[in-house]
Each structure stands twice: as structure tokens, then as C-alpha cells.
Chain A
Amino acid sequence: MIDEKKLKQAKQAFKTLCSMLDEKKWHYEKDEDNLTISCGAKGKDLLIPIHIEFNVDRYFVVVITQMPFEIPEERRKAMAVAVSAANWMLPDGSFDYDFIEGIILYRMALCFADCILSKKAFEYLMLHFCYFADKYNDKFLMVAKSNMTYDEIDKFIKTSGEL
């Protein structure tokens, strides 16, 4: 049974997010019944497919992208080191790694429990999301295709993009 108060707040937050996306001229598809949004961004190297979901029951919105490549089995342990190194550098969000299936996700979330979230907050969410997904996706692919050692991977990811 859906909590009407939670649903109302989720719908309000959904509306604010859509309004921000419209203002910034994003192309997106929305499902107003399930409160989900699909869109994408073009990164420096790889495309970033984006899925946004409003969890009504738990009062938060989550933005997720899945890296558009699977990690070969022989590089799955190494990739855990790469993902950890990237996470160590993040100010927000998380790279999530399914070691069993060889899948990497990037995730950011925002809680809207009894809040009035602004378009600015959603702009921060989407801007940072795209920036960090783009910063590391190609690095992960390089690690997957390489034979870098664990120490080399840790150093490579932590110094990526540094001047």
C-alpha cells in the first residue's frame, strides 16, 4: 500500500527534476507512473546511459549509470582495486562493483524526506554525476584491457587527470 504523503513528495521532487532537465535542454524519456527517467550524456570517450529512479518508500532519488562494457573474468580482481581507487578519490557518489558478474555502476542519491529540493540541488546532482562517470569510465576500460599490476592500477587511477 503506497503512502500518499511519500508519493506526493516524490512526485513533487520528480517534477522539479524534470523542470531542471527541461531548462538545461536535456533530452529524456520519463515514466510518470513509475517515477523513472532515462537519458544519456556524451562523455569524452564513452557514452553515459543514465537511469533515474525515485524510491517512494525510502524517500530518495537515485541516479545510476552502468559502464558500457563487461569486465573479463581474468581481470575482475584487478578491477576491484581500480574501483576502490576511484572511490577513494570521490567527493560524492559511489562506483559499485558486482565482482561476480563483472559489472560496474556509478551511483549518486539524494534524499527528499519532507524536503523542498531545488532545481539547483538536482543540477548539482546531474553535473557531478556526469563529471565523475566520465572521468573514470575510460580508465576502467583501460585497466580491463591491460595487464597492470594491483599497485600500478591503484597509482594509475589515483593520479588520473591530475596535473
Chain B
Amino acid sequence: MPKINQKNEIQDVYKMLCSFLDKYQWHYEKEEENGIVRYGVNGEDLPMTFIIEVDKEKELLRLVSPFPFIIEENKRVEGAIITSYANYKIANGCFQYNYSQGNILFTMTSCFQGSFISEPFLYYFIIYSLNVVEHYNDKFMMVSKGLLSVEDFVKNE
């Protein structure tokens, strides 16, 4: 468990996040003035991009992973069904799907107001989101391209 020091100092969560990524030798870009880090991961099928924002004012950690493709126009309703069903299957985070444009984001927000967070917390945040995006990105793409039906997508979940 983390120790609260004598002065009860507020954690610098952004610094902690960067130290964590450094420790595991992740390559990332910093936008320190905005509290943002960006990193990419080559998945089995598709490249993945992640952006984490540390909102110091609201004490929130926000992760966004924009998908590198849009759902084809003739599959927009299918896109709504599979993304909202995928949300039904996951424990944390949200596939946010823009029906009118076909774009998908995976997002996850965690509040640390008045709290002390730890390395295992960051590990969970980063690794969990990576696993979820990796699991679904190719399946969403296959439905978009007509290679996988909604029924088969649902059946295999």
C-alpha cells in the first residue's frame, strides 16, 4: 500500500505515469503542459494508439484509443450493435461509437480525487485497455468489411 508522507503531499500523477512508462521502457511522447502522454502498440492485427490525459484540476485519469479505421457506411447500424454489445461484455471502459461518422474510440476514465494511487493501478489501467482494444479491433473491422456477421460476432463473445 502507498505511504502518505508527513506533509500529506499530493501525488504528481503525471510524473508517476511517466516514471511508470520509463520503468517498463515504453516509448511515448509527452505533452507535459496538457498532462498528456501518447504511445503506440503494434498489435497482432492492427496498430493501436493510446492517449492518456492526467487532469490535475479534476483529478481524473482519462485514456482514449482511437481506432485506425471507420465503420463502412453500409454497416453503421451493425457498428452500433457490436460496439454496444462489446461494452456489455467488458468490465471497465467504453467503446464510444459515432454512428453518423463511423469512428470508434475506446475510452476509460478513473477518478483519483483525494486518493493515493499506485503502480499496480497504472499497470491495470494501461494493460487492461491494451488487452480490450487488441481483442476487439480486428473483429470490429471484420464486421465493417462484411467478413463477420453480427450474429457470429455475438456468438463468439
| A residues in contact (CB < 8 Å) with B | 9, 55, 58-60, 62, 77, 80-81, 83-85, 87-88, 90-100, 105, 107, 109-121, 123-125, 150-151, 154
Nearest Cβ on chain B to A92's Cβ, whole angstroms: 4
Contact A80 B84 (CB under 8 A): yes
**Chain B binding surface SS class:** mixed
Please tell me the number of chain B residues within 8 Å of chain A, measured between CB atoms: 44
**Least CB separation from A55: chain B residue:** B91
A85→B103 CA distance, assembly (Å): 12
Total A-B pairs, Cβ < 8 A: 133
**Least CB separation from A89: chain B residue:** B96
| B residues in contact (CB < 8 Å) with A | 1-2, 4, 60, 76-77, 79-81, 83-85, 87-100, 109-121, 123-125, 150, 154
Given contacts A84-B83, A115-B2, A117-B115, contact A60 B91 (CB under 8 A): yes
User: Inside 8 A of A91's CB, which chain B residues have their CB?
Assistant: 109
Nearest Cβ on chain A to B39's Cβ, whole angstroms: 20
User: Inside 8 A of B85's CB, which chain A residues have their CB?
Assistant: 80, 97-99
12 A/B residue pairs, CB under 8 Å, sorted by A: A62-B91, A87-B97, A94-B87, A94-B94, A96-B84, A96-B88, A99-B81, A114-B1, A114-B2, A114-B120, A115-B117, A121-B111
Contact A83 B121 (CB under 8 A): no
